[in-house]
Structure 1
Amino acid sequence: MDTLSALQSLGLELPSPAYIAGAVVFGLIGMAAYWHGKKTPQRRTRWWGVALMFYPYAISLTWMLYAVGVALCLGLWWEVRRT
């Protein structure tokens, strides 16, 4: 039996290349925010970075990944701009 068809019969599907690219991009932005928040005494920036790094594990739809990622990036931008 083909492995891919066996996984699909269990309800598991591989993510699209757009999803993987978005998860990588938002993860890298999150890592940069975390490191910036760690070097400076900005605890909120670190938490924005953690959220950006780990939220793709909870979201499976590509459009939602990008919507939440953009919203988190805007929140991060607002936080950095505010301080």
Structure 2
Amino acid sequence: MNTADLLWGILFSAIGFGFFLYGRKQQRLIPLVCGLGLMLYPYFVTGTLLLVGIGVVLTALPYFVRV
């Protein structure tokens, strides 16, 4: 793991924590699940491009999917 992976992981985990808190407080499933995903996936993904790609998709998903 290099420095870029670590910093991207921290950034997306912080965003995920915000989504998780919002989803739990508002009782909305999509932000809650995306928040959990954003907090957990950096532990399992190697490679900066894949890390950023998945992070961008999971960050944008609650804005486009309204349930």
Name the structure 1 match of 2:60.
74
What is the Cα-based RMSD across aligned positions, in Å?
Answer: 1.2
Give the deviation of 1:16 after TM superposition.
1.2
* Structure 2 residue 18 is the aligned partner of structure 1 residue 38: no
Q: Which runs of 4+ in 1 moved over 2 A?
A: none
Higher helix share: 2
TM-score (norm 1): 0.74
Q: Percent identity?
A: 27
Query: 5+ residue gaps in structure 1?
Result: 1-14
Of the two, which has the highest radius of gyration? Answer: 1
Task: Name which structure has the greater RCO, CA cutoff 8 Å, separation 6+.
Answer: 2
TM-score (norm 2): 0.89
Give the deviation of 1:44 after TM superposition.
2.0
Give the deviation of 1:63 after TM superposition.
1.0
Query: 5+ residue gaps in structure 2?
Result: none
